């Protein structure tokens, strides 16, 4: 799941009124977005290697994101549905399902796709920045938002910083830069946006093969026995 988690207090110069104005504008630009499909390229860097992957992302309002990886491996799929996360790896015939909790930190999974300013403020320090004034080039970005976890007692921070590079038209992210720690980071570049176009409902789900084990919160609950089984359920249907 760390691949997509991906799917992340001001610092000095940014005044509250400027920040509030930004999120009012952000909300206005996002109100009309109900579905989104796009392409992504992800580069993960560690001291051992640099790994590049590609795939597609689907977002459906409210609160579902699907990442499908296509290169170099085909088939790995990650879904965030409300407050549940699904990780499907066909090679090992397994789906892992985890409850991620109805808490402010869960909002990190919807970074860049939803207007969740109030919840983000509870768990993170936020800072606006000018992406055109940084050394890192993100074509098309005109606004930037940096997110840093607030210290939590007895809880490790999930990452050091997430930087969103947003395009002007609708404040959708053209890049998400995740700094995990001093030695590990990921850049996700997003392009070819298709917004509010007709969407096959199955694009917001993952079809799992017969024989796949479904493990929820570290407990085996089912082995898939029928073809065409899709997870999660249809939009708007809560899991049992």
pTM value? 0.82
CATH homologous superfamily of 16-231 equals Lipoprotein localisation LolA/LolB/LppX (2.50.20.10)
Give the distance from CA 56 to its chain's centroid: 12
Q: What is the pLDDT of residues 17-50, one digit of tens each?
A: 777 888 888 878 777 888 999 999 999 999 999 9
Q: How far apart are CA 208 and CA 214, in angstroms?
A: 10
**Backbone φ and ψ of 91, nearest 5°:** -60, -35
Task: Please tell me whether residue 135 adopts helix, strand or coil conformation.
Answer: coil
Are 174 and 191 spatial neighbours (Cβ–Cβ below 8 Å)? yes
What are the boundaries of each domain within the chain?
Answer: 16-231
Rounded percentage of the chain residues whose pLDDT exceeds 70: 81
Instruction: Name the more confident of 155 and 6.
Output: 155
């Amino acid at each position: 799941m760390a691949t997509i988690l991906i799917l992340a207090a001001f610092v000095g110069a940014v005044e509250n009124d400027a920040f509030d104005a930004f999120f009012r504008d952000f909300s206005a630009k996002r109100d009309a977005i109900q579905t989104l499909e796009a392409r992504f390229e992800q580069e993960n860097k560690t001291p051992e290697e640099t790994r590049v992957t590609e795939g597609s992302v689907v977002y459906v309002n409210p609160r579902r994101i699907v990442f499908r990886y296509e290169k170099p491996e085909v088939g790995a799929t990650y879904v965030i549905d409300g407050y549940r996360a699904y990780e499907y790896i066909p090679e090992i015939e397994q789906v892992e399902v985890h409850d991620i909790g109805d808490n402010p930190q869960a909002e990190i999974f919807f970074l860049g796709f939803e207007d969740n300013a109030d919840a983000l403020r509870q768990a993170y320090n936020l800072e606006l920045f000018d992406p055109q004034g940084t050394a890192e080039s993100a074509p098309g970005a005109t606004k930037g938002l940096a997110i840093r976890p607030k210290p939590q007692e007895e809880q490790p921070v999930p990452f050091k910083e997430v930087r969103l590079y947003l395009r002007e038209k609708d404040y959708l992210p053209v890049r998400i830069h995740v700094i995990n720690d001093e030695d590990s980071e990921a850049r996700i570049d997003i392009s070819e946006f298709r917004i509010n176009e007709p969407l096959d409902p199955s694009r917001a789900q993952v079809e799992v093969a017969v024989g796949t084990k479904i493990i929820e919160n570290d407990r085996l609950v089912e082995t898939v026995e029928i073809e065409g089984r899709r997870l999660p359920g249809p939009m708007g249907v809560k899991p049992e």
